Chains A and B, each alone.
Chain A
């Protein structure tokens, strides 16, 4: 019940904003070529739902594949960095630097390499997911309590046992922080790479509808992109709650 009560004020505000927008656009006679009203955007979504679903699916697939690949590689690298001193000293600062580099800016290079198809988008999404997860996970694996690690050492535990029983559980909250950022980043990467060159996907659709001055359809595509962004973030939050039930209620965001 409390959750429901908490949702009331923002829901009311959202309705008020949408109503105000609708009234202003229709009342002041703002052209759909500038800003369409929410009802016309909804109508555009309904009219083009099959096309929107197709393009959205492409973007989701690219982002998800990239997310998966990037995270798997990141988990492998994080473990390697945790146990290899030279590797950590030499390569990890470069990963940190890579993280500050505007990776999205290399989209044109990737599209040039791999063409306008799906692989360039997957690769960019993987790159972005890789850096955020790696940086957070390395921190997480290092956050395991020293006393517990010493205890395991005394008990003659293997590295694998140490990793599975101590380091990974300690790293979970960090991992999920990385995954949350990575989920949003993967969608951003897919859309950005589609802007540069693509034959399908939401980024392509957004670019194409703008070029055709089909403003209502443009807004419809952007709304779908926004929903996908929110949904992907929400899914990771749900997974986080499922994986770490003891932290429920600790984090509001």
Chain B
């Protein structure tokens, strides 16, 4: 078996116990709901949710695509901007002293609070939704990258200096290398917060997307569909986070599980 394959399989091996736990929970859920003790609008049976998924498959797929488009566009824009700004700030000391503390403060803001303002300015289309995702990705990634770029080994930096390396060479060969785990940790967090922000923004714009689907199915009391949309939104997030975690494990097997720098958490960026 290839090294990459083995690493992936190692990750999956530890999933047996939680999967059994999950299966037991689902079974219990199904049994409890079929006794009729719990009202369907409080807790629909897993089978009801599945049935809604099957029945409204095309709708769910369409709205998922809208949410995914928003989340990925914001994610991409925010990441590219963060990398560019982080590289600039590393070398422009004066700019960094003025700008970075403000960016740190911005990161602590509840981003979802500004969505209505963005909607007033940009309308109810994709623009305000992509903007809020991009903004949170940008700030999370930037802060982590700045930390990562600074985490470069001082001795290696000195060696590069002795070797008469240019600033660009030091940036690309030492600092960017040291920053990689920090970058991936930030991307993992941003991936999940992008789906959250896209969903919340869709509640407000009410135009398309899974958040919109959750809202209208709630209003029209189609509880199965509402749960189905939430389950799909969760699956999207898990999928995105899973892809990034996989990249992390394959590309940097020496990094401890869970990554470095940015601590685990979706809230910080949401």
Contact = CB atoms under 8 A, between A and B. Distances in A.
Interface of A: 6-7, 9-10, 12-14, 33-35, 86, 89-94, 97, 99-106, 108-109, 112-113, 128-129, 131-132, 135-136, 139, 174, 177-178, 180-182, 184-189, 191-192, 195-196, 202-203, 206-207, 210, 215, 218-219, 222, 225-226, 228-230, 233-234, 253
A226 B227 CA distance: 31
B97 A6 contact: yes
Nearest to B233: A105
A10 B196 contact: no
A113 B226 CA distance: 13
A132 B266 contact: yes
Contacts of A206: 113, 116
Given A90-B20, A91-B21, A230-B108, 8 more contacts: A9-B94, A90-B21, A92-B18, A105-B233, A131-B266, A132-B264, A191-B113, A195-B200
Interface string B168-203: 000000000000000000000000100110011001
Contact of A10 (B99, B230, B234): B99
B264 A184 contact: no
Contacts of A228: 110
Interface in B85-103: 94, 97-102
Interface string B140-155: 0001000100000000
Contacts of B101: 6-7, 9-10
Majority SS at the chain A contact face:
helix
Contacts of A93: 14-15, 17-18
A210 B116 contact: yes
Interface stretch (B29-37, B58-66, B117-125, B157-165): B117-125
B218 A108 contact: yes
B258 A139 contact: yes
A178 B204 CA distance: 29
B119 A210 contact: yes
B56 interface: no
14 contacts: A6-B101, A9-B98, A33-B120, A89-B17, A99-B266, A102-B192, A105-B199, A184-B267, A184-B270, A203-B113, A215-B120, A218-B120, A219-B117, A253-B143
Interface residues on B, range: 35 or more
Interface string B256-269: 00100001111110
Contact of B214 (A108, A182, A188, A226): A108
A43 B122 CA distance: 24
A109 to B, nearest CB: 7
Given A13-B99, A100-B192, A104-B270, A229 B265 contact: no
B211 interface: yes
Interface string B198-227: 011001100000110011001000010011
Contacts of B266: 99-100, 102-103, 128, 131-132, 185
A66 to B, nearest CB: 11
A202 B42 CA distance: 27
A197 to B, nearest CB: 9
B80 interface: no
B112 interface: yes
Contacts of B192: 100, 102
Contacts of A105: 195-196, 199-200, 210-211, 214, 230, 233-234
A115 B204 CA distance: 19
B98 A225 contact: no
Lowest 7 A-B CB distances belong to which pairs? A185-B267, A93-B18, A181-B265, A9-B98, A177-B263, A233-B108, A132-B265
